[in-house]
């Protein structure tokens, strides 16, 4: 059923009568309601994409969880997601799970792939419709949409595909919302996959003191992860500048950093396991000021990124040493 574009107060009255129509689930009341507060679809979003790690060279079933949400009477016309151009797209589900249950004129939905590897599921007919294929309640309604994709290799990983959700023309603008999903990683079948957290470390302390922080190494792959950590006494920004000028890349010249230490420099992590590494900051004999270094995390992960622009995972580290007179607050 299509509804005309009407003033808000009139549209609200007509919406009550539509409750009895098939495929329509507008709010109903035994008394005349106040004029609706229009809210559009800007709270709709893609909440999850699974699997989060894709295997190159084989078909993956990529499933997108979308939360359609609208506080007014707007339904959803379309969802699309822009995947990397090199990916090979197979079959798409012909409907969402649960199935689209919006207006009859908008169903059955249409699924396909547009140039640029844009996957879409949308209302039948010309868009935008006046009454879309999916209901979007004020509390949010979740739908699952799946497609077969083949990732040829790990180029460009981790990926952050952009999505767009389009509402119908009933209700207040904006009728679309766009975002990016962060992120999809890549790992070969039977390969390890390293994740490092946090991606930077910083300490501020007085001369002569020592502190510890924890760097967590996690293996989200399906094979054992062999890892190692070396130190490099230079700021990451300076290394990048030198690299762009044709000098060695970050972590290409590791050396001991006197004020920095780790309690383990190498190890093995099983599939879906993690290892905490204690990182020590020792300000004994270190001059006041801020000092920079890098922890260079190497592994047998075939795609170790993000790595801050390198094939390794580079963790910038800084130590700010306070002069003892300031650290003591001028106390005797």
Identical fold for domains 39-186 and 194-327, yes or no, is yes
Alpha helices in the chain (DSSP H): 8-17, 236-244, 324-327
Average pLDDT over residues 38-49: 82
CA–CA distance, 243 with 236 (Å, rounded to integer) = 10
The hierarchical CATH code for the domain 194-327 is 2.60.40.10
Neighbours of 160 (CB within 10 A): 11
Smallest CA-to-CA distance from 205 within 213, 197, 196 is with: 213
pLDDT at 241: 56
Place of tokens 């994709």: 149
Average pLDDT over residues 173-189: 84
pLDDT at 244: 59
Q: Please check the confidence at residue 323 and state whether its pLDDT lies above 90.
A: no
- pTM given for the model: 0.52
Domain boundaries, the chain: 39-186, 194-327
Task: Quickly state the pLDDT bin for 290 (edges 50, 70, 90).
Answer: very high
Q: Which residues pair with 54 in a beta bridge?
A: 186
Write the CB contacts of 146 (distance below 8 Å, at least 6 apart in sequence): 61, 62, 63, 64, 92, 93, 97
pLDDT at 19: 38
* Average predicted confidence (pLDDT) for the chain: 82
Topology given in CATH for the domain delimited by 39-186: Immunoglobulin-like (2.60.40)
pLDDT at 183: 84
Q: Is 194 helix (H, G, I), strand (E, B) or coil?
A: strand
CA–CA distance, 273 with 139 (Å, rounded to integer) = 36
Of the spans 2-6, 138-142, 171-175, 293-297, which averages the highest pLDDT? 293-297
CB 201 within 8 A of CB 279: yes
């Amino acid at each position: 059923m299509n509804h005309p574009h009407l003033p808000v107060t009139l549209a609200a009255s007509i919406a009550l009568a539509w409750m009895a129509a098939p495929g329509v689930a507008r709010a109903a009341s035994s008394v005349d309601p106040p004029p609706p507060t229009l809210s559009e679809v800007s709270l709709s979003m893609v909440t999850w994409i699974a699997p989060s790690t894709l295997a190159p060279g084989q078909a993956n079933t990529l499933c997108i969880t979308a939360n359609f949400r609208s506080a007014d009477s707007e339904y959803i016309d379309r969802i699309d997601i822009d995947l990397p151009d090199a990916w090979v797209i197979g079959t798409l589900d012909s409907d969402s799970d649960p199935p689209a249950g919006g207006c009859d004129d908008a169903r059955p939905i249409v699924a396909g792939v547009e140039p640029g590897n844009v996957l879409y599921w949308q209302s039948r007919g010309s868009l935008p419709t006046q009454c879309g294929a999916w209901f979007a309640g004020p509390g949010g309604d979740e739908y699952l949409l799946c497609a077969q994709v083949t990732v040829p290799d790990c180029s460009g990983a981790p990926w952050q595909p952009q999505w767009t959700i389009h509402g119908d023309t009933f209700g207040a603008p904006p009728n679309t919302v766009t975002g990016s999903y962060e992120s999809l990683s890549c790992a070969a079948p039977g390969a390890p996959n390293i994740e490092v957290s946090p991606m930077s470390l910083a300490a501020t302390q007085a001369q002569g003191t020592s502190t510890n922080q924890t760097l967590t190494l996690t293996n989200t792959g399906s094979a054992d992860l062999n890892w190692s950590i070396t130190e490099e006494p230079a700021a990451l920004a300076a290394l990048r500048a030198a690299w762009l000028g044709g000098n060695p890349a970050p972590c290409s010249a590791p050396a001991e950093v006197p004020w920095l230490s780790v309690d383990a420099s190498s190890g093995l992590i099983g599939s879906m396991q993690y290892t905490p590494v204690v990182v020590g900051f020792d300000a004994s004999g270190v001059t006041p000021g801020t000092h920079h270094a890098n922890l260079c995390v190497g592994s047998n992960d075939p795609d170790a990124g993000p790595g801050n622009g390198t094939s390794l995972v580079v963790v910038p580290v800084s130590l700010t040493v306070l002069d003892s007179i300031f650290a003591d607050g001028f106390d005797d």
